[in-house]
Structure 1
Amino acid sequence: MSSLTPPKASNTLPLLLIIGYVWPEPNSSAAGSRMMQLISSFLARGYRINFASPADFSDHAVDLQALGVDVTAIELNNTSFDEFVAELQPQVVLFDRFMMEEQFAWRVSNNCPQAIRILNMEDLHSLRHARQQAIKAGGNSDDAELNTEMAHRELAAIFRSDLTLVISPFEYQLIHQHYQVPESQLLLLPFMLAEPTQPSSLPFEQRHHFVSIGNFRHAPNWDAVLQLRQLWPAIRRQCGDAELHIYGAYPPKKATQLHNSAIGFHIKGWAQDVTELMSNARVLLAPLRFGAGLKGKLLDAMCHGLPSVTTPIGAEGMTVAADWPGAVRSEDQAFIDEAVRLYQDRQAWQQAVAQIPAHLVPYQRSTLEQALFERIYGIDQDINGHRQQHFIGAMLQHHSLKSTQYMSQWIEAKNKLKSQP
């Protein structure tokens, strides 16, 4: 029997250690929602979970202990983690983003060599960063340079991991075909929605105003707010007294200063109830010029029967055979025209809503969970054989990973010297 097949005795349930980049905040970001989906899935499969993070605690984070999850504060560049993980001896370790893999995977490998190491990407950070740099240089996202230092680091983490969870079909193909990562090390695992998903049925006439949402600390979202400030006057002129309500966690002063009720441009800040605001809005706007992964705001809109106008970057990885439930436009005037059309034309709005169910099919939790745990159990059956298939990962463990280990140990030794009288 696999050591990861949940036994009957609760005190011998398999243990998952999650090393989080931050403490999960599902009301602040799609990444927080994604992490909570993973936690829920592992709990449902009978795992004990310890969530550890070097980040500061947040008042907005989920109370994981109330869910039965143990929490541990850990330190970067400190052998205390070695003692912690050696005593814990988890069967599975999930690294939240490649930075955590860089910091802690070598320590996990040294102390728990048989633990399955899983990388949860969230998105392909190097792709998002490269696209942002291309925009700053005056180009567009298609000009992104894929051969960057960050890409080298991120792909090394992927190659070193036993399994990487890739959220976007576009990024899955990029990682497999362009960067040549074997599919045996990858699993396409988008957002997981509880079933059944029933979009809000509030009709066109009872919905009012435009809405946009996104964590203000996330660079693509802040850039989108600036784009909306430029696009909104033209939309407003054609839509009477329509308003644009912009929500998002951690609004900075530079964002709140954009608030202008005279033109219907409202910076609302934190969203207390996403269901309420999306169920009552008529159109969601997401003029994203760069980014990566899947856009949680667009999936949330679908789940609430809300058509959206976005860009090719926004819709990337989320399109299916059916038409987009709204519109996808890259040019400013076309974006404005579609926003106005959907807001004013009841038939066009209803046609967009009718496309939503087809777009929700890829996110059904039961199917995705089954694929995830089949892969984990399969690796567990012969983890040494699995690793022997992947020469590049073994090579990176032998050489490149040592550089991060030695740097960490150097920082630790330096910190100890500083602390001495």
Structure 2
Amino acid sequence: MKILVLAHRVPYPADKGEKIRTYHQIKYLVEQGHQLTVLAPLEDDAEQGFAEALQQKLGIDVITARLGSGFGRKISAVLRGLAVSQSHFFSPALLAQFKQLLRTEQPDTVLCTSSAMALYLDRAGLSERAKRDCTLLMDFMDLDSDKWQQYARQASIPMRWVYQREARLVARAERQIYQQFDRCFFISYNEVTLFSQQLADASKVSVLANGLDTSAFYPASAPVNATEPVFLFTGVMNYKPNEDAVLWFVQSMWAQVRQQYPNARFIIAGMSPSAKIQQLASQPGVEVTGYVDDILPYYHQASIFIAPFRLARGVQNKILQAMACGLPVITTPMGAEGIACQPGEHLLTAQTEAEFLQCIAEVQQNPALRQALQQNGPELIRQRYSWEGVLQPLQRILAAKEEASV
């Protein structure tokens, strides 16, 4: 089957949430015998090298084009009455290449990653044949309109107005995409449920979960010294939900943690730390790494993974990675959302500062609990979150199309 993938970023290297997800989807589809071509916009010149590396690694065609001025894309969105995030990944040059491929390749399926990539289909002017014969799949990943609503609730004027506008227009786009596409996916059941409440008929929306490469994330060979706790958070550190989680932990709880455990350390490992995150390095025991080539050693030197999320939805890859590495995880119910886990058995959940501090004390003072979390987390990941297992629904949809066309 010929499949065109419209990816909002070059999904290589697979070093952040959405790139990890898209890379493994592409890899899986190639392994199933499909013929793939990936189209992705470039935000900087370095990404061209990533595209070439992806092409060589998976033996697929990767087509790219540079994005224009960021300011120009924002102005275009405002003038056209679009959400700014809808036009953020739009490149006229990439659109031209997409149109050409629709004519010459006549793909069986187009898979879009994120709602922003639907704009290419809107402006491509699909032929009647394509509308009839080409299956359109949308991987929303997260319910972005809800994310913007969360931002708006926490922001003050004028940014509250900006976020409210974005939430309203993205929600409108999500509903339009649902009508246009043949199948839509979210990472978790919670987001499917939330989106379905907006629809008269939700039969085309389903879960396509996140997975984990268990050969890349596994427990350390030797246990760490748990008496002097090393806390860890990983992720892109200019991404608002990550930034908010880390700032809340340090500003609200870190002084009390250090009072109880004077040698405690908190490692914030991830690319692009914002100015606010960089300033946290002045706090006793706090380390801000910036980009790291290999994240696994940081999981192996930590004793607790802390994930106090208050924004965003969807399954958090970083939590799956930490569990696979046998780290006790303490997170909010929002952080555990979409993970098939039992709080108290696979991880611990907390909502308030006092609850987080209580969970930390329980992990530190209860060796039996620590050992159970260290054993149960990796076992859950092995049983439920291999990429091959979680991506089978995608292959079933494509196989059903092939059978119908015979």
**Into which bin does the TM-score normalised by the smaller protein fall?**
0.7 to 0.9
Aligned match for 1:112, one of 130, 135, 140: 130
Change (3 A) 1:35 1:168: same
Pairing 1:167–2:154 present: no
Equivalent AA in structure 2 for residue 53 of structure 1: A
Counterpart for residue 70 of structure 2: none
Counterpart for residue 233 of structure 1: 255
Equivalent AA in structure 1 for residue 279 of structure 2: Q
Counterpart for residue 153 of structure 1: 173
Decide whether the 8 Å contact of 1:18 with 1:52 is kept in 2: yes
Aligned residues: 363
Aligned match for 1:129, one of 148, 162, 178: 148
Aligned match for 1:66, one of 34, 51, 56: 56
Counterpart for residue 32 of structure 1: 19
Decide whether the 8 Å contact of 2:150 with 2:312 is kept in 1: yes
Aligned match for 1:76, one of 88, 91, 107: 91
Please state how far the C-alpha of 1:20 moved relative to its aligned partner. Answer: 1.2
TM-score for both structures, normalised by structure 1: 0.78
Please state how far the C-alpha of 1:312 moved relative to its aligned partner. Answer: 1.4
Deviations 1:288-345 (A, max 9, x none): 1111111111011011111111111111111435635331111111112212332443
Equivalent AA in structure 2 for residue 172 of structure 1: V
Counterpart for residue 252 of structure 1: 274
Equivalent AA in structure 2 for residue 166 of structure 1: F
Q: Structure 2: where are the runs of 5+ without partners?
A: 66-89, 158-163
Change (3 A) 1:145 1:19: closer
Counterpart for residue 101 of structure 1: 118
Equivalent AA in structure 1 for residue 281 of structure 2: H
Decide whether the 8 Å contact of 2:331 with 2:348 is kept in 1: yes
Q: Structure 1: where are the runs of 5+ without partners?
A: 1-13, 139-143, 384-421
Change (3 A) 1:210 1:196: closer
Alignment partners' CA distance in 1, 2:345 and 2:156: 30
Alignment partners' CA distance in 2, 1:339 and 1:58: 44
Q: Secondary structure at the match of 1:259?
A: helix
Q: Secondary structure at the match of 1:164?
A: strand
Identity of aligned residues (%): 21
Q: Secondary structure at the match of 1:355?
A: helix
Aligned match for 1:289, one of 307, 310, 334: 310
TM-score for both structures, normalised by structure 2: 0.80
Q: Which has the higher contact order (CA 8 A, sep 6+)?
A: 1
Counterpart for residue 85 of structure 1: 102
Please state how far the C-alpha of 1:212 moved relative to its aligned partner. Answer: 0.6
Please state how far the C-alpha of 1:199 moved relative to its aligned partner. Answer: 4.2
Bigger CA radius of gyration: 1
Q: Secondary structure at the match of 2:39?
A: strand
Decide whether the 8 Å contact of 1:15 with 1:47 is kept in 2: yes
Q: Secondary structure at the match of 1:292?
A: coil
Aligned match for 1:276, one of 297, 305, 325: 297
Q: Secondary structure at the match of 2:311?
A: coil
Alignment partners' CA distance in 1, 2:384 and 2:45: 32
Aligned match for 2:37, one of 50, 59, 67: 50
Equivalent AA in structure 1 for residue 109 of structure 2: V
Counterpart for residue 330 of structure 1: 351
Alignment partners' CA distance in 1, 2:207 and 2:119: 22
Deviations 1:218-275 (A, max 9, x none): 2101111211221211112112201000011112333222212x61011111132222
- The 4+ residue runs of structure 1 with deviation greater than 4 A are 144-147, 194-199, 201-208, 380-383
Q: Residues 186-265 of structure 1: matches in 2 within 5 Å? A: 186-194=205-213, 199-200=218-219, 202=221, 204-206=223-225, 209-230=230-251, 231-260=253-282, 263-265=284-286
Q: Secondary structure at the match of 1:349?
A: helix
Decide whether the 8 Å contact of 2:212 with 2:321 is kept in 1: no
Change (3 A) 1:217 1:239: same
Counterpart for residue 395 of structure 2: 373
